[in-house]
């Protein structure tokens, strides 16, 4: 009994789990999107649609699939905004907001990855309540409902399709703004494996590693609880069983479909348990140097796991079980070390480098200082299991940057 978790006492006795986003999964479901929307009473009258996407998704022909799915339905696409960059920013949100307001949209469809979905959430928020994204920075600052959003994810990692958060870049300040509010939960997430069929392998790998980071950070978070743990365990198992196949065998729709589901399940969990130091560091690296979010998480994750291991070895031991480790003669610390090795192994198989320096991030002391300070100010650090001060953060950041950094 308790082979995975050892049946430890509850970590907390007050547990709230929010899951307002409805999920519809199915191969080809986008082809009947109009029907799927019409059967939802609160969406039946939301016929003025703005579609938010990016150039890559548009050139892959996925916009046409959504248009076909809405043909002969009461849902009219009033405008298509396909200018979301890979790392969306405040100017992009301003542009989108004007379009939403000009067309008096009452439904926003976000077709894309995390940047597209977060931009759609920000546009929905500002169109409904005015001001700038920074006015709502932090937790629970959104005053009321926003324009409903339907998400159609085209990557396999973000989780934003079911999450209550958005992250938008402030290019001038070289920082990222995080907004968290129950009013940002999308109304509906439509998961169609057809939408990830043509996703380039490297993006499957990078976004898949983002989903893995979500699950691992959720599992060791200060806010972990059995509901989020259950999701995190299944996500870890599905990713270790399917990510490599989803990347290397683009014909494996089953593997990609399971990665799509795993990403969404991780998003459900992270909305309720928070994340940790990997995201805190990586948000800063992404804001300063433009490193892809999933790729950057994959770089930092093993070092952060190693840093956190001494705080909660039993939790990392449980993660090792979810990754397939079956030995029974090892200590929690040894099992936790194996979990870290498995993550490193997966990363290597996917061709992802070990350090930020391999991605062009400078390794000088001033850069380490700047990243460490940014990470200390990131709201996700609050959920990291090991209490972290700036003097702890600097050597940790150094290890993610360069080989042989001293702790
Ligand atoms: Fe993430």
The pLDDT tens digits of the residues spanning 328-348 come to: 899 999 999 999 999 999 999
326: Cβ–Cβ under 8 A, 6 or more apart, which residues? none
CA quadruple 125, 126, 132, 135: dihedral sign: negative
C-alpha dihedral, 397 to 360 to 167 to 273, nearest 10°: -40
pLDDT of residue 407: 43
What single DSSP character describes residue 185? S
d(CA 250, ligand 1 centre) in Å: 23
Which residue in 157, 159, 192 sits closest to 24, CA to CA?
192
Chain mean pLDDT for the chain? 95
Tokens 């979500």 belong to residue: 214
d(CA 218, ligand 1 centre) in Å: 11
d(CA 298, ligand 1 centre) in Å: 10
d(CA 109, ligand 1 centre) in Å: 21
Whether 14 contacts 272, CB under 8 Å: no
> Mean pLDDT lowest for which of 11-15, 25-29, 158-162, 342-346?
11-15
| Token output for 400 | 């993610």
d(CA 11, ligand 1 centre) in Å: 24
**404: confidence class by pLDDT, cuts 50, 70, 90:** low
d(CA 68, ligand 1 centre) in Å: 31
Between CA 294 and CA 203 the distance in angstroms is: 8
Q: Per residue in 154-211, pLDDT tens?
A: 999 999 999 999 999 998 888 889 999 999 999 999 999 999 999 999 999 999 999 9
What single DSSP character describes residue 386? S
pLDDT of residue 402: 84
d(CA 156, ligand 1 centre) in Å: 11
Q: Per residue in 77-111, pLDDT tens?
A: 999 999 999 889 999 999 999 999 999 999 999 99
Whether 270 contacts 214, CB under 8 Å: yes
- Report whether pLDDT(127) > 50: yes
Q: How far is CA 220 from the centre of its chain?
A: 17
Helix (H) or strand (E) holding 367: helix 365-376
- Report whether pLDDT(406) > 60: no
């Amino acid at each position: 009994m308790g082979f995975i978790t050892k049946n430890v006492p509850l970590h907390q006795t007050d547990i709230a789990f929010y899951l307002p986003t409805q999920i519809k999964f199915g191969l080809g479901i986008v082809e009947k999107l109009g029907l799927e929307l019409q059967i939802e009473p609160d969406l039946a009258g939301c016929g003025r649609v703005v579609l938010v996407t990016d150039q890559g998704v548009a050139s892959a022909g996925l916009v046409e699939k959504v248009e076909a799915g809405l043909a002969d339905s009461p849902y009219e696409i009033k405008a298509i905004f396909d200018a979301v960059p890979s790392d969306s920013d405040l100017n992009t949100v301003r542009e989108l907001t004007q379009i939403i307001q000009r067309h008096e949209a009452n439904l926003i469809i976000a077709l894309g990855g995390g940047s597209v979905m977060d931009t759609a959430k920000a546009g929905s928020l500002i169109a409904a309540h005015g001001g700038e994204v920074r006015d709502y920075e932090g937790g629970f600052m959104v005053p009321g409902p926003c324009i409903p959003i339907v998400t159609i994810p085209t990557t396999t990692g973000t989780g934003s399709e079911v999450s209550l958060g958005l992250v938008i870049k402030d290019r001038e300040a070289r920082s990222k703004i995080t907004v968290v509010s129950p009013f940002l939960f999308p109304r509906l997430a439509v998961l169609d494996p057809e939408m990830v069929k043509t996703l380039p392998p490297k993006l499957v790998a990078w976004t898949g590693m983002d989903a893995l980071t979500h699950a691992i950070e959720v599992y060791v978070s200060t806010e972990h609880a059995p509901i989020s743990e259950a999701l995190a365990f299944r996500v870890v198992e599905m990713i270790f069983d399917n990510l490599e196949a989803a990347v290397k065998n683009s014909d494996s729709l089953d593997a990609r479909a399971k990665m799509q589901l795993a990403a969404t399940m991780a998003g459900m969990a992270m909305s309720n348990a928070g994340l940790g130091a990997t995201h805190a560091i990586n948000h800063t690296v992404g804001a300063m140097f433009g490193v892809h979010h999933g790729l950057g998480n994959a770089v930092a994750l093993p070092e952060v796991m190693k840093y956190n291991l001494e705080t909660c070895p039993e939790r990392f031991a449980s993660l090792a079980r979810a990754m397939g480790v079956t030995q029974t003669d090892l200590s929690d610390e040894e099992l936790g070390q194996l979990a870290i090795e498995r993550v490193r192994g997966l990363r290597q198989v996917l061709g992802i480098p070990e350090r930020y320096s391999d991605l062009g991030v400078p390794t000088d002391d001033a850069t380490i200082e700047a990243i460490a300070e940014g990470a200390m100010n990131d709201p996700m650090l609050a959920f990291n299991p090991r209490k972290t001060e700036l003097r702890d953060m600097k050597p940790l950041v150094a290890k993610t940057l360069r080989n042989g950094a001293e702790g």
